[in-house]
Amino acid sequence: MALAEYKRKRNFRATPEPAGGGDRGHGIFVVQLHHARRRHYDFRLEHAGTLKSWAVPKGPSFDPNVKRMAVQVEDHPLSYAGFEGGIPEGNYGAGHVDVFDRGTWEPLGSVREGLAKGELKFTLNGDVLRGSWVLVRTRKDGKKPQWLLIKHRDAYAGEREADDFVDPRSDRPLPLRERRKVWKDAKPARTAVDTRGRSAERGTAEAIDDGPFQPELCKPEQRVPAGDGWLHEAKWDGYRILATIKGRRVRLWSRNGLEWTRRLPELVDALRSLGVKSAQLDGEMVALRGGRDDFNALQGRLSAAEKAPLAYMLFDMPYLDGHSLRELPLLERKARLEALLKKHPGPLSYSAHQVGDGPRVYAQAVRAGLEGIVSKRADSAYVGTRNGDWVKIKARRSDEFVVIGFTEPKGSRSGIGALLLARPRPRGGLAYIGRVGTGFSSEQLRTLRKDLAGTRIAETPVDVSKMSRADRAAATWVEPALVVEVYHQGLGGQGLLRQPALKTVREDKSLDDIVKDARPASRASAGRAKTAMGRTPRATAGGAKKAAKKKAPKRALAAATADGVRLTHPEREVFPGSGVTKGDVAAYYAKVAPLLLADVGARPLSVLRCPDGVGQACFFQKHTGRGWGDHVRAVAVKEKGGGSDRYLAVDDATGVLQLVQMNVLEFHPWGARASDLEHADRVIFDLDPHPSVAWSEVKKAARTVHDALAAIGLESFLRTSGGKGLHVVVPLASAATWADAKRFAEQVADTLASERPQTFVSVAGEQKRERRIFIDWLRNARGATSVGSYSLRAREGAPVAMPIEWSELARLRSAAAYDIRSALAKIARRKRDPWEGFDRVRQALPSLRAAAGERPRRRRGRTSRADRKD
C-alpha cells in the first residue's frame, strides 16, 4: 500500500526504474540529482520499508542560515537508492538520474512522531552530507506537503552548497574522490568567540529550568566499535548523576529524576564554584579507594559507614550559559567541558577519552581492572535517547534484575538465603531468571531482609516453572520493585543465570528503568544473532526438533569420550531450531580432526566461543587460560610493545575436543606456524560479496582471481567460507615476511579492482560496494586470522568452511552449501582430498622469486579442462 502511488504513476515496461524490492533495515539515505523538466535534488530517507522522499529544487545547503524548500513526494522502494540512468521521454519524471550522495541516517527521536508533528531531526553519515539536520513542515494541505531542509550548526556546517559538488561543465556529480575533497576544503561556519574563549554563537539560545533533564543512554554491546568516528572512555563504576545550575542554585539528579542534592553537599559546592550562569552537566559519581573507583566504597560513603572521597567524573555538557549545546558534535561539547574544568580542581574531574583504536583501549581497560568502556560517536548530538550513539562494553558481564522473592537462610547464615530474580519479557511481564546467593556482606543480608519484609505478597505473578521445587517451597514472594545488579556467565541450558554473584543493590534504578533498558537490549541481541548467523534463526517443525533432541544425548556422550575428553551438557542445543547439540559438535570435530589439524594445527589460534549457543553472546578468544585442558598449549607471541602474550594452539584431536568442551565453535588460524611466527606460509584472498551480488558472479570472481594468480605462476586452492563468500588460498614454500605477503595481496587486489571496477573493490568500508565484491587482502597481516578448513561457522544451519576442487566451482550452490551433516557425507564419498599436495607445492611470491634470480614456475599439471569452466 505504501508504494501504490509510486506504482500508479509509472509504466514499468517503459521505464527502467525499479518496481519494488531492496534490502531493508540498514537505515540508508540517498540524494539523487534529477535532470527532469525542472532540475532538482531528490532527498530520500529509509523508514518502514520504503524511502520517504522530498524534492529539493536548489539542493541541500551546508549553511545553517539557509533554509531550502523540500516538497514531499510519494514514497519510493528501497531499491531506488541504487537507481541511476535515464527515464525515457513520455514517462513520469523523464530525465537523467545520478546518485549524488548516499550513506546512513540516524533519527533523533521517533520518526513516526517527527513526521506526524512536522519536525524531523536526524544525523546524516554520507560522503557529502554529514552531521545534524532537520526537516520542518511549513504546509500540510495538498497532495505534496512542503517542508524546509535546514542544516544545524555543528562541525560539518559551512558555506558550501550542493551544487559545489557538481561539475559545472557536465552538470553531473563530481567523482567521489573530488566530492570528498570539496567537503574537506569547505570553510567552517563562522562563530563568535567570547572573552572566555568559548564559541558563543555555536549553540541554540534557549532558557532552562533547574529540573532534571533526559540523559543520553547507552546500548549494551559485545564488541568495540572500530574506526576514528568513535571515541572511547572508561566505564566508571558508580552512580550516574545529572547536574543543573541556574544562578546560585545547584541541583543534582539521578538518571531517573530523583533528587540527590542534599546527599552530596561537597559536589554542590564544587559545581557552584564554577562561576557559570547556567549549565546542564552529565557524569558519574564515584568513590575513590587507593586511587581507584570502588563501588563498595561508594555505597559505604553514602551510608556514612566510610569516608572515601567522592569524585564527579564529568563527560558531557548539553547546556552552558544560555545556549543549548545538544546539536553540537560530542567532541566540541567535551572540549568546552574540559576547558571549563581546568581551573577548578577538586571533586570535579574531566572524563578523558581516546579517539579511535577502540579494541586497544578496551584491552587496556580490562588489564587495568576497569569495569569496561563506553564508546560514543564523536560527531553525535545529545538527544536524550538510546539511539546507539553511545554503547557500553563490559569487561565482566553484569545485568540488572528485579527481586521477586527470597529464600530463608541456612546454617549460621543470617538475613536471607538467596534472592530470586526476574527480568522483563520482550512483550511484557516478567520471567524468572535464577537465584543469587553469593556476593553479599553480612550487613547486606540483614538490611535486605528488613527492606523486603515490608513488601511481602501472597503469591508471585511471575511464571516460576523453571524454579526448583525446593526454592518454590522455601520462597517468600515480594513485590517486584527492588533492582539488583548481578555478575554472571551467561545463561545455562534451562535459560537460567550461570555462576551469578551479587554486584550491588541499585538504589538509583526502578523496575520501570530495567523494563526500558531491556527493550534495546532485546533488539541488540537480535542484531547479534543476525550478524552471527546471517539472519534470525527460525525453529524447525516441532516434531523434527523433538526427535533430534531425543537422539542427541546418546551420540553426544559417545563423541565426548572418544579421546578421553569429558563433555559437560552434551544435550544442550547449540544451533537453535536445528537439533544440533554440543555433543553433535564434538562428534563432528572428532571425525574431521585430522583434516582440520592439517590447516590449523601448530599455529596460533583465535577461536569463537558460544557458551549459550549461537544467537546468544559469542566472543573471540586467542589467549590461554585456566581449565582449557592439558592438550591446549600456549605459544609465546611477541607484541609490538616488546612484551609477549600466550596464544592458543593445538596439535592433536584431544586438544581440539578440549576446546569444544570450552564451547568453541570456530577455529581461525594464523597464516604462519608457531615455529616461525615472523613469516607467512600462505596468502589468502577472502572474496566478500555485497548482498546485492548474485552467487554466479561470486563464482566468476573466484575464477578471475585463480586465473590472475596462475598468470604469474602461482597455484591456488579454493574453500567455501561457510558464510557468503569464497577463499582463494596460495601456499608458499619459501615463507614470506608479513610485509611482503600483505604488500603482494594488496597489489593483486588493487590490480583486479582497477581492471574490473564493476566487479571488485579493494578498500575496506568503501561506500561503493553495492553490486561489487570486496577482495579482503587484510587477512595477510601479522596476527590476522581467517577461518580454517573444516571449521564450523556460528551461523544458521551449522555451515562448514569446506575445501573443494576448482572443478566443483560451477556446481557449487552457495558459500554455505555444506553443513555439519552434509560435510561428513561429502568427505566419506570423495575419492581424494581436494587440497591434496597443498603443503608440497613449491612456490614463492614473485617479488621474492625475482630477488633470488628465478623465473616464474608454471603451475603443476593438475588442471583439467573442466577446471576452466565456470
- Active-site residue set: 235
- Rounding to the nearest 10 degrees, give the CA dihedral for residues 105, 108, 112, 113: -160
Please answer whether residues 407 and 438 qualify as being in contact, where contact means their C-beta atoms are separated by less than 8 angstroms.
no
What sign does the dihedral 520-523-527-528 (CA atoms) show? positive
Cα 91 to Cα 75: distance, rounded to the nearest angstrom:
18
State the helix-helix crossing angle for 582-600 and 653-661, rounded to 10 degrees.
140
Q: How far is CA 658 from CA 583, 623, 708, 765, in A?
A: 13, 15, 41, 37
Which phi and psi (to 5°) does residue 207 adopt? Answer: -100, 155
The candidate with the shortest Cα–Cα distance to 151, out of 176, 180, 130, is 130
**Stretch (H or E) spanning 363:** helix 358-367
CB-based burial, 575-588: b 16+ in 10 Å, e otherwise: bbbbbbbbbbbbbb
At residue 338, the 3 state secondary structure works out as helix
Q: Which residues pair with 656 in a beta bridge?
A: none
Q: How far is CA 198 from CA 191, 193, 203, 320, 325, in A?
A: 10, 5, 11, 10, 12
Query: Which residues make Cβ contacts (< 8 Å) with residue 449, sequence separation at least 6?
Result: 406, 414, 415, 416
Cα 637 to Cα 635: distance, rounded to the nearest angstrom:
6
Cα 182 to Cα 163: distance, rounded to the nearest angstrom:
11
State the Cα angle at 364 between 363 and 369, rounded to 5°.
Answer: 100
Cα 280 to Cα 299: distance, rounded to the nearest angstrom:
25
Give first-to-last CA distance, the chain, whole Å: 42
Region for residue 395 given its phi and psi (left: phi exceeds 0; alpha: psi -120 to 50; beta: otherwise) = alpha
In the chain, how long is the greatest CA-to-CA distance? 90
Look up residue 281 and give its three cell numbers.
552537566
Using only C-alpha atoms, the chain has a radius of gyration, in whole angstroms, of 30
Residues in the chain: 870
Q: Kind of pairing, strands 348-350 and 310-320?
A: parallel
Please answer whether residues 74 and 347 qualify as being in contact, where contact means their C-beta atoms are separated by less than 8 angstroms.
no
Task: Identify each DSSP E strand in 722-862 by its residue range.
Answer: 726-737, 760-761, 773-776, 803-804
Which phi and psi (to 5°) does residue 811 adopt? Answer: -95, -5
What sign does the dihedral 294-297-302-303 (CA atoms) show? positive
What sign does the dihedral 830-834-835-837 (CA atoms) show? positive
Query: Which residues make Cβ contacts (< 8 Å) with residue 504, sequence separation at least 6?
Result: 295, 296, 299, 484, 485
Cα 753 to Cα 323: distance, rounded to the nearest angstrom:
49
Look up residue 702 and give its three cell numbers.
573466484
CB-based burial, 286-324: b 16+ in 10 Å, e otherwise: bbbbeeebbbebbbbbbeeeeebebbbbbbbbbbbbbbb
Look up residue 667 and give its three cell numbers.
577455529
Residue whose cell numbers read 552471527? 532
Please answer whether residues 155 and 332 qualify as being in contact, where contact means their C-beta atoms are separated by less than 8 angstroms.
yes
